[in-house]
Chains A and B, each alone.
Chain A
């Protein structure tokens, strides 16, 4: 069964450094998402992406964050200058176009655990 893949599985970085988290969504999916989960807390929406542009973003997704689909398969999340509070598990997800009403489920990758020291 096709799956969403994320790399790396773990990333340790120093405060102020830039990080890029990578995702390969399922190939026929058209909607792409990033979520994050701080340890022990809820899954928080960051951003959704469709047709090569951001369709929605949350308050968390400030100017330090950016997303890109550099080619036909990868979908990346960049954090420009990491803060301690960016330490979390970051999940990529994708979703196929269902035609009506957005009733198709999200398919998640296994996440990248980001630790900012």
Chain B
């Protein structure tokens, strides 16, 4: 079975500080991993994805994530937080054994303090 766990439902950082949002997955087969961002009153927007190849993937708005198989992790980072990064972030997993379903984490709300 596939699942994702996001540690920390709320994260606060100062503007300009490093952003680190954690995601761990469980999967019996190589997973496909995704990060989505949700701004208030909007839908989910794809930030980045890992399917195969390079384990460090870069996404939009300066975010990146690294797939670490040994740690079953796919943490999202950004070197310097902007006020506009305040949003809800969701990690998701899909895979060859999930049929066509995505499994989402419970989300992490990021607050950026000026």
Contact = CB atoms under 8 A, between A and B. Distances in A.
B43 A43 contact: no
Given A103-B32, A103-B94, A91 B43 contact: yes
Interface of B: 32, 34, 36, 41-46, 49, 51-52, 90, 92, 94-96, 98-107
- A-B pairs with the 3 shortest C-beta distances? A108-B43, A101-B96, A103-B51
Nearest to B45: A108
Interface residues of A, number: 24
Nearest to B6: A42
Interface of A: 4, 31, 33, 42-43, 45, 48, 50, 55-56, 91, 93, 95, 100-103, 105-111
13 contacts: A4-B43, A42-B105, A45-B101, A50-B100, A55-B99, A55-B100, A56-B100, A101-B32, A101-B95, A102-B94, A102-B100, A108-B43, A110-B43
Nearest to A42: B106
A42 B107 contact: yes
Given A43-B44, A107-B46, A110-B43, A95 B100 contact: yes
Nearest to A58: B101
Contacts of A106: 34, 44, 46, 92, 102
Contact of A102 (B46, B52, B98, B107): B98
B100 A48 contact: yes
